[in-house]
Every structure is written in C-alpha cells, then in structure tokens.
A and B are shown apart, each in its own frame.
Chain A
Amino acid sequence: MSTFKLMRNEVRMLFNQFKLAIKTPSMLLFYGLTFFGILFVSSVISSFVSFAPLLSNLASLLEDTISRGMIFAATAVLSASSVVSGYFGLGPAALLTIEDESLMMSAPVKPHQMFLSRYLRRIIRKISFLAIGILSVFPLLTSASLFFFAAVSLLSIVTIFLEINYLLGALSSYVRFRLSLRVKHRVRHLVVIGLGALALLPAHPWLVSNLVAVYIIPSNAIALFLTESTGLFAQGINPIYSMIFIFIGFAICLLLTANITGYNYFESFSASKGREETEGRFSKIIRGDIDFSQSRFNDPMIWIMIKDFWSRLRSPMQIWKYIYAIVGTVFVLYLNIVRPLWFPPVPVPTGLEFALVPAFILMVILFVQMASVTSMLSFVDERDNIYLLKVSPFHSRDIILSKYLLSLFEIVITVIPACGFLIYFIHIEGYLSLITLAAPLSIIFAATGSAVGAYVPVMTNDPQTLPVPLAFSFPIINLGLGAILVFLVAMFAESILVLIILPVYTLSLVCIFLAFSTRALNNYK
C-alpha cells in the first residue's frame, strides 16, 4: 500500500467536501458570509484608518520599547509551550479520527502512512483557509501599503513555524511514551521541565548572536525572519536564508514524527476516545452527586438550565472557568482600586497613542467574541441528546431561551475579568462609557451563538461536529454586528437618540437570532 494512494484519497475527500460546500445552499451561504463579511469589515476598517503611516513607524516605535532578545525569547517560549503541552498530548494520534479507527487501523496500512496522509489533509486545509483569509483581508493589506507577496510569505512562514511547534509537541509526546515503558514512577514526568528548558535554550544571548545557531534552530530562524522582513532590529541579513532553514527544519521534524509514529498511537487514540466521557476528579469533588428527580423546579426552562449547568460541570475545564471568573474578578477589582506598584500597566509608546481607542474597542469585541463560543457549543455539547431534548414535552422557545440565558450568564462571568484587565492596562479617556459596550455585545453574541449552534443538526446529521462554515462564520457575524454597533454609537454619540437606538438594535437582533434558533430547532432531520 503506497502512501500516495492514501494521500490521493485525502485529496479526493477534500475535493468532495468542496463540491458539497458549493452545492449546498446553506453551506454556501455561511462560507459566503464569512468571506464577504471579512472583506466588508476589512474594507470598512481600511476606509477609516490608514495603516501605512502606522506600520512605517511601528518598527522604530517598538525598538524604543522592546529589545531584540525579547523577540527571540517570544518565539522560543512558543516552541517551549508546544513542547510542554505536546508532552501531555496525543502526539500523532491527534490527527486520527473515529473513521480511521473503524477502517484504517485494521487495514494493512502502516501508521506512518496514515500520519503522512492525514497530515497532508491538515496542510491542504490550512493552505486553503490561509489563501481565503489573505484574499478577504486584501483591502487591509492595500491600505497598509504592504506588498502582497511580503504578507503572504510572512503568514506562510509563521504558519510553518507553528507546524514545526506542533511536530515538536508530537516528538515530546513520544519521549513520554518511551519513558513510560522504562520508568513507572510519576517522577518521570519531571522530564517535561527539561524538555521545556531545552526549547527555551535557543533564546540564550550566545545562541542569538551566533548566526549558525540562529539559522539551524527554527525558533531563532523565525525570529530572524520577523526582524529582517519587518525592519525591526534589522541587521541587513537577507530573510530568504531564514525561510530556507525553516523549510528544512519543518521537513526534518515532519519526517522524524512520521518515523516515530507506531502502532502504539492506535492504542493511544482508542484510549483517548474512552477518556473523553470521563469526568474531572476535581469537578466530581465539587459537584458531588446530583439527582435531577429530586429537583423542586418544575419550569422547563429552569430545568434545562440546571441540567446544562450540572452536565457542563462534569467537564474538567468548566470548574476552572468558574474559578477563573471568581479569582479573576476579585483580582481585577483589586488592581483597579489599589493600582499596585508591583504590577504596573504596560507603557504604550507615545507614537501609538492615536490607535488606542480603536484597539480598545476591538479588544472588547474580541473578548466578548471569545467568551461567546460557549453559546455556540451549548447545542453542540448536547450531541445526539439534542434529538431527545427536541422530542421532550418542552416548547421550542423554552429550550432556546434556557440555552440562551445560561450562555449569557457564562459569557458575562468570563467577560468581566477580561474587561477589568483591559481597563487596567489600557487606561484611556472615556474608558467607562466604552467598556459598557461589552454588555450589549454579550447580549447579541449570546443570541448569534445560540442561532449558529442550533443550525448544526440542520446542516449535518452529526450534531456533535460543528461544520467548518458555521464555525468560521460565527466570529465574522459577531465582528460585523459589533462593528455596526460601534458605528451606531459613534454616529449618535452626541445625541440622546443613542439611548433608544442602542437597546432597539440589541433587542431586535436578539429576537431575530432567537427566532432563527427556534426555526432551526423545528427543522431537525
């Protein structure tokens, strides 16, 4: 069985997916929404702000604030974090799917062949999304007077560097596997500190000043590429050499990972599938035993919310989210009230002050967007149980409203500490009125998340897998709606009308999206 046959099959599957996407109206709609949404947002941004003067001065402005070593340290930290997280990860098995387990693991196919073909799929997908992304932000690139080729090569090299980090993580997981065969004591996991330190070592000044070491170590090569291609601490070295060495590093890491991919990763994959369902030990201690039959709430909405709250608490990450919400809120209150000297805000270069307000607003939108992913997942997390929920004797509107309200609660508790940090670090004039925009944004994004999540079982008969166009269009829809909201506020800032327009805009969008969600729920196959 040649690897190329498997690779050809992967390409065929991707091509079929593409064909399906352009033939299915709903998918085409969401893809179109994503592409033209980004194009629209980037056109609007570039018409408001000219990035060319900002970018031309950026290098000199940043050189006053940071040092050359910090860039090398940052790329080394990225590699080190991949090595550390990779040590505890699945390694090459992370690329495998449940279909591979059913069909390919029992077939006469070598594990490295499966890895390489699956990896090709990953690369093709990334290249396609990168190409679409670059095309959709074309107005921004033009506004910044950036050469198209320069932007493409920068993004490509950064992507390859991230792939190298992924492969380093896979190699790190192999170290854990080999070590666990020889040493059974838990102390063996201390080796991860050594691996992390090894990945940080290239940031040592001696290695940064040695050109050979800079070229052959990927984290240094990318740092050199970034400095030379952006002009930041540039030393007049041609960045093409860094590019070549990054490609060589990538090829070496890829072949090394393929080489270590063995049958043991089949077992790792199978075991991980079993573990997915298990509950975090810590959450179990906090949660205790819950018996819903003893619930004193008879209202369907409250019952669904309580069910979702306790079911989500089974996931190991959820409890940490609540801990972050409580500890983070207390900490930002302390920071903003006491303003401790030991934790000063980051100084902003004076030349960049004019960009602070747009950056502040953009960060508020992004924070709320990141927090609102939970609302999209409120349906996906139900998996096949969504059909049980649908046939249960509840009104569709009760199901939607309960999902919406619980998601809103989760978004709010996540956004509060993030906004607190933001107003501490970027203390601009009028921050208090700007930060209040987080409230309508949360209310709207929770509704868009519910609508997008509710559409998953309409588009696919696998309700636990979020289709790519839906996942991509969600942040774009939110970014677009957030931009319109900011635009409305800016337009009517001087008028009392803003007190009417803002709630009307927010509530009408919420009603529309919740109506879409109900419609989606009523259309499940």
Chain B
Amino acid sequence: MTMRASLERMPGDELLRLARVLKIPIVKRNIKRSWLVEEVMKELEKRNERKISPIRLVTPAISLDNVTKRFGKKVAVRKLNLKVNPGEIVGLVGPNGAGKTTTLRMLTGIIRANSGNIKVDGYDIRDKPIQAKERIGYIPEKPTCYPSLTAREYIMFTARIYSVPHETALIRMREFIELFHFDEFIDTYIGILSKGNLQRALLIGIFTREPPYILALDEPIYGLDPRGAWNLKKLLRQLRDDGSAILVSTHILEVAADLCDRFVIMNEGDVVGKGTIDELKALFPEAVSLEEIFLSLTGGIPK
C-alpha cells in the first residue's frame, strides 16, 4: 500500500524512469498515468515474489570488545565494551572530547583500533571490511558531501555503491524525499545546500537501502529544523521496532533521553556509566533527569 502511494505521488519523469528501469514496454504516444502506475506495480509485485527472504541481523548487530584507540600518547578510547542488538537504539553520550566520534569512526572502519575487536553484523571490521561496511550506515559529525553533485545524483550514487537495485532506490528515494520535505532541493547542487538540507540528503542516501539497518549516527539532529528532527526521531523509532540496530552519538541530552533505550556515557575515553534511564537513576537516586545523571558522572553538577 505504501509503495502504491509512493508511486502515485511520484513526478511524471521519475515514474517514466522507473518504468524504463523495469523494462515496461511503452509503445503508445499518449499513456495514462494510472495505467503506468498499474504496470509498474504489477512488475514490482512480480519481482517481489522472486525475492529471497528478508535480511535478518546477527545479535549483537554492533559489538565492540575491549577496544582501545590512542593518538600518540593520548588515549582517545580506553577498553570500550559496547553492544547494540537489533531492535534497540543505544545512545552514546558524553562531553566534547569524550571519544564518541572516535568510537563511531572505528566502528565504520575510517580509523583502526589499536587493540580490541569490532564487529558489524558478525563481520570483523578489520578482517572483512567490505562485508561489514555494506551493512552499516554512517552519518558523520560534520556532514560534508561532494559539492558538485546534485542531491539526486548523490543519492543514486550512494544506492549504486551499496548495490541497491535501481528500481528500489528510485521508490525509496521518493518515499524519503516526502518524509523529509526535500522535493524542492532534490536537483540542487550539494555545495549550495544549507547544513540542515545537507543532513537530509545524507539521510535519504542511507535510507535508499532496504531495512533492517545498522546505523551509526553522529549528532543526527544537527542542523535539522524541529519538523525534520521530529520526523527523523519518529522514523528511527519505527526502524528500531522493525528490527534495526541504531547507535546514536550525541551530546544533546534531550535527544538522547527522547530517543534511546539504553545509554553509554563516556568521559575522557572511558565508559563512566551504562544502562537504561531507570538503571542509571537507581545509581543516582537524587537525580531527576538524564542531564543530572550525566553531570554527576562527568565531573559533578555545577553549584
């Protein structure tokens, strides 16, 4: 039903492109939109029947065992143990310089840990980097993208990198363009997008893949307006319920409290607290919010 709704809202040129991708013969000079939607639907249903069973994530989907990262003499992350299971959103919170971004960069294979094991969907990021990276979606702390691509070109390029079938990419792109109200920017060059719109383009790029996802999101709400932020939070909750594993790094505690099932609190490279909000509250009975727990764990509540 969602797919049909997406197709019905699809602009004419996109629908035609999809029909061409699906190799639907278009011989008449004038065709009705409703006929084309029906033909596309039929072809998609036919292809869906042939599809193999949906992907299931390994438990834990993200696993970091005794991970340490040093930059020269400075220890950025010390003996970190962290697991994220499918159907779970884990918040990685901590002050600036706590090691959150370094953790996500190790998890996504951008940098290597000095010691310890990192696995994504059961694949070791060091031994099987391509398989691990195929599973994970990453939004960096400071979003950047190739400025001379249009948002549409970037999204379709991302789909190609992750081997998403062209037709799936087109349908899902349309779905998320609408969710993030991105229609007016889809053919804009990325170099002139605002930070919020760039973040939206990156998110759409990730979601062209088919769920369930393993996501590593570094400050995902960065730059989004309240509606965009609300939509993203709603989407992440829905993805979690559908079996995705999500690790969110943030120092905005309202976002973490609102979104995450569990928390890992880091300070100067060490894990100083972990658990659900109730478990953390039990450690600090006098604390009334995640903010107070966080402050107590990272240097005390200022007088």
Interface set of A (CB-CB < 8 Å, partner B): 1, 5, 9, 12-14, 16-17, 20, 98-99, 101-110, 263-264, 266-267, 270-271, 274, 460-462
Chain B contacts for A105, CB-based, 8 A: 108-110
User: In the complex, how many angstroms separate the beta carbon of A184 from the nearest chain B beta carbon?
Assistant: 14
Cα distance A270–B131 in the bound complex, in angstroms: 22
Interchain CB contact (< 8 A) of B148 among A16, A264, A266, A267: A16
Contact of A106 with B144 at beta-carbon distance under 8 Å, contacts A266-B111, A267-B112 already known? no
Contact of A107 with B110 at beta-carbon distance under 8 Å, contacts A99-B145, A461-B192 already known? no
User: Interface-forming stretch among B16-24, B133-141, B225-233?
Assistant: B133-141
The B interface is mostly helix, strand or loop, or mixed, namely mixed
Q: Contact at A274–B71, with CB atoms within 8 Å?
A: yes
Interface set of B (CB-CB < 8 Å, partner A): 71, 105, 108-112, 129-131, 133-134, 136, 138, 140, 142-150, 153, 157-158, 160-163, 189, 191-192, 216
The A interface is mostly helix, strand or loop, or mixed, namely helix
Give me 20 other A-B pairs in contact (C-beta within 8 A), A106-B109, A109-B161 excluded: A9-B157, A12-B153, A16-B153, A16-B189, A17-B148, A20-B148, A99-B146, A102-B142, A103-B158, A105-B108, A106-B136, A106-B138, A108-B131, A263-B109, A263-B129, A267-B111, A270-B105, A270-B110, A270-B111, A274-B71
Contact of A461 with B134 at beta-carbon distance under 8 Å, contacts A102-B143, A109-B161, A266-B110 already known? no
Q: Contact at A103–B130, with CB atoms within 8 Å?
A: no
Chain A contacts for B157, CB-based, 8 A: 5, 9
Cα distance A274–B243 in the bound complex, in angstroms: 37
Chain B contacts for A104, CB-based, 8 A: 161
User: In the complex, how many angstroms separate the beta carbon of B114 from the nearest chain A beta carbon?
Assistant: 11
Q: Contact at B161–A1, with CB atoms within 8 Å?
A: yes
Cα distance A107–B164 in the bound complex, in angstroms: 13
Chain A contacts for B160, CB-based, 8 A: 1, 5
The residue on B at minimum CB distance from A460 is: B191
16 contacts between A and B (CB under 8 A): A1-B160, A9-B149, A17-B148, A102-B140, A102-B142, A103-B144, A106-B136, A108-B129, A108-B161, A263-B109, A263-B112, A264-B112, A267-B110, A267-B111, A270-B110, A461-B192
Cα distance A16–B150 in the bound complex, in angstroms: 9
The residue on B at minimum CB distance from A13 is: B148
Q: Contact at B191–A107, with CB atoms within 8 Å?
A: no
User: In the complex, how many angstroms separate the beta carbon of B300 from the nearest chain A beta carbon?
Assistant: 30
Cα distance A271–B72 in the bound complex, in angstroms: 10
Chain A contacts for B134, CB-based, 8 A: 108
The residue on A at minimum CB distance from B109 is: A106
Contact of A20 with B189 at beta-carbon distance under 8 Å, contacts A106-B136, A108-B134, A108-B161 already known? yes
Q: Contact at A107–B162, with CB atoms within 8 Å?
A: yes
User: In the complex, how many angstroms separate the beta carbon of B163 from the nearest chain A beta carbon?
Assistant: 7
The residue on A at minimum CB distance from B136 is: A106
Chain A contacts for B136, CB-based, 8 A: 106
Which residue, of B147, B150, B192, has the highest number of chain A Cβ atoms within 10 A? B147
Q: Contact at B191–A106, with CB atoms within 8 Å?
A: no
Contact of A106 with B108 at beta-carbon distance under 8 Å, contacts A5-B161, A461-B191 already known? yes
Chain B contacts for A274, CB-based, 8 A: 71
Contact of A108 with B110 at beta-carbon distance under 8 Å, contacts A102-B140, A102-B145 already known? no
Chain A contacts for B129, CB-based, 8 A: 108, 263
Chain B contacts for A109, CB-based, 8 A: 133, 161
Cα distance A263–B143 in the bound complex, in angstroms: 22
Chain B contacts for A99, CB-based, 8 A: 144-147
The residue on B at minimum CB distance from A17 is: B148
Chain B contacts for A17, CB-based, 8 A: 148
The residue on A at minimum CB distance from B205 is: A103
User: In the complex, how many angstroms separate the beta carbon of B65 from the nearest chain A beta carbon?
Assistant: 20
Interchain CB contact (< 8 A) of A108 among B112, B130, B145, B146: B130
Chain B contacts for A5, CB-based, 8 A: 157, 160-161
Cα distance A12–B160 in the bound complex, in angstroms: 14
Contact of A13 with B146 at beta-carbon distance under 8 Å, contacts A20-B189, A270-B110 already known? yes
Cα distance A296–B274 in the bound complex, in angstroms: 52
The residue on A at minimum CB distance from B163 is: A1
Cα distance A107–B161 in the bound complex, in angstroms: 7
Chain B contacts for A16, CB-based, 8 A: 148-150, 153, 189
Cα distance A267–B70 in the bound complex, in angstroms: 12
Chain A contacts for B133, CB-based, 8 A: 106-109
Cα distance A99–B157 in the bound complex, in angstroms: 14
Cα distance A270–B144 in the bound complex, in angstroms: 15
The residue on B at minimum CB distance from A107 is: B161
Cα distance A246–B129 in the bound complex, in angstroms: 36
User: In the complex, how many angstroms separate the beta carbon of B155 from the nearest chain A beta carbon?
Assistant: 12
Which residue, of A98, A107, A267, A274, has the highest number of chain B Cβ atoms within 10 A? A107
User: In the complex, how many angstroms separate the beta carbon of B137 from the nearest chain A beta carbon?
Assistant: 9
